[in-house]
């Protein structure tokens, strides 16, 4: 179920369809089918994870279920991997739908993809790439264990990718916050004819906060991978200059990590402040006309 929050965020692609076609607000039929398929695939994974161990006589070790029947183990891995592939391919299809939507009046009248959708899709890509690395590494580890091969290197790699997964837990909540800001902006900029201007969106500094938080999370994930690799490959018996240099490099990466963490929270705070301080006059496109409106009053 770890993929469910980010899938739900991505399915808010309806925001883009409402921007492109306010009257119907429907995504492409193949995009809607992809959403349905991904949802079913997640449900199949959950049912498989619960049902198969119930009919097996295995045991639990270190929080993981060990199958007693090899056929059930193979079936569980096969179903899980196939369903996972369906989720990833359907996710790519939904992302593609965002960039290929066009107005019924043609591409010339299609508004640009908003900063919010760019940030949400970037977070979604990063989230699913991190989880894909976790699932692939786990699958390789399980295969090597069944083949009775050495798994020390794979275990180290699993530690590395799992560290990145923990960092990405912020992504769904950040994406929801960005979408909330955009929904509030669209609510305030709607016209008397119940249409949303093509350029409608949050304040520019709020969009800067979205970009800042998104890039900060990307930097955090990359730094976490690097520091985990360094700690996994370090030799505690080494002494002297080499040990001191590694410690210095570790401190530098820790500084980058915490700086990115504060930047992510700073960007999120900007978005939150922007939501509560929004007025129709401060939002695009009305903010662009502010100086013109005030001229006759001088």
How far apart are alpha carbons 122 and 211 in whole angstroms? Answer: 10
How far apart are alpha carbons 133 and 214 in whole angstroms? Answer: 20
How far apart are alpha carbons 245 and 59 in whole angstroms? Answer: 46
How far apart are alpha carbons 149 and 234 in whole angstroms? Answer: 24
How far apart are alpha carbons 207 and 212 in whole angstroms? Answer: 9
Q: Is 28 exposed, middle or buried (0-12, 13-18, 19+ CB in 10 A)?
A: middle
Q: DSSP E strands: which ranges in the chain?
A: 59-61, 64-66
Cα dihedral 174/180/182/188 (nearest 10): -160
Average pLDDT, consecutive stretches of 10 residues, N- to C-terminus, the chain (298 residues)? 84 78 78 91 89 78 71 81 89 88 79 88 90 83 71 78 85 92 87 73 92 95 86 55 65 89 95 93 74 41
What pLDDT score was predicted for residue 40?
A: 94
How far apart are alpha carbons 69 and 58 in whole angstroms? Answer: 8
How far apart are alpha carbons 195 and 186 in whole angstroms? Answer: 10
* Domain locations along the chain: 1-108, 112-298
Instruction: Say if CB 136 and CB 164 are below 8 A apart.
Output: no
What pLDDT score was predicted for residue 273?
A: 96
Cα separations (Å) of 98 from 13, 15, 23, 84?
7, 10, 17, 22
Entry pTM: 0.81
């Amino acid at each position: 179920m770890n993929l469910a929050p980010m899938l739900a965020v991505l399915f808010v692609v309806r925001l883009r369809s409402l921007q492109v076609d306010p009257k119907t607000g429907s995504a492409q039929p193949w995009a809607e089918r992809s959403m349905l398929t991904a949802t079913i695939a997640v449900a199949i994974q959950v049912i498989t994870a619960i049902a198969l161990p119930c009919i097996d006589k295995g045991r639990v070790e270190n929080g993981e279920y060990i199958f007693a029947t090899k056929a059930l183990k193979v079936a569980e891995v096969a179903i899980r991997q196939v369903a996972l592939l369906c989720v990833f391919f359907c996710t790519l299809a939904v992302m593609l739908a965002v960039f290929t939507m066009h107005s019924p009046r043609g591409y010339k009248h299609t508004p640009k993809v908003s900063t919010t959708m760019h940030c949400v899709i970037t977070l979604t890509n990063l989230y699913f790439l991190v989880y894909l690395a976790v699932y692939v590494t786990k699958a390789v580890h399980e295969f090597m264990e069944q083949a009775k091969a050495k798994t020390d290197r794979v275990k180290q790699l699993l530690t590395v990718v799992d560290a990145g997964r923990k960092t990405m837990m912020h992504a769904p909540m950040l994406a929801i916050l960005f979408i909330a800001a955009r929904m509030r902006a669209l609510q305030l900029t709607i016209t008397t004819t119940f249409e949303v201007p093509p350029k409608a969106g949050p304040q520019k500094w709020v969009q800067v906060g979205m970009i800042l938080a998104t890039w900060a999370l990307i930097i955090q994930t990359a730094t976490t991978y690097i520091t985990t690799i360094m700690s996994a490959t370090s030799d505690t018996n080494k002494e002297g200059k080499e040990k001191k240099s590694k410690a210095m490099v570790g401190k530098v990466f820790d500084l980058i990590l915490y700086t990115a963490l504060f930047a992510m929270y700073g960007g999120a705070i900007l978005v939150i402040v922007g939501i509560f301080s929004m007025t129709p006059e401060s939002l695009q496109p009305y903010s662009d006309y502010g100086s013109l409106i005030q001229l006759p009053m001088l």
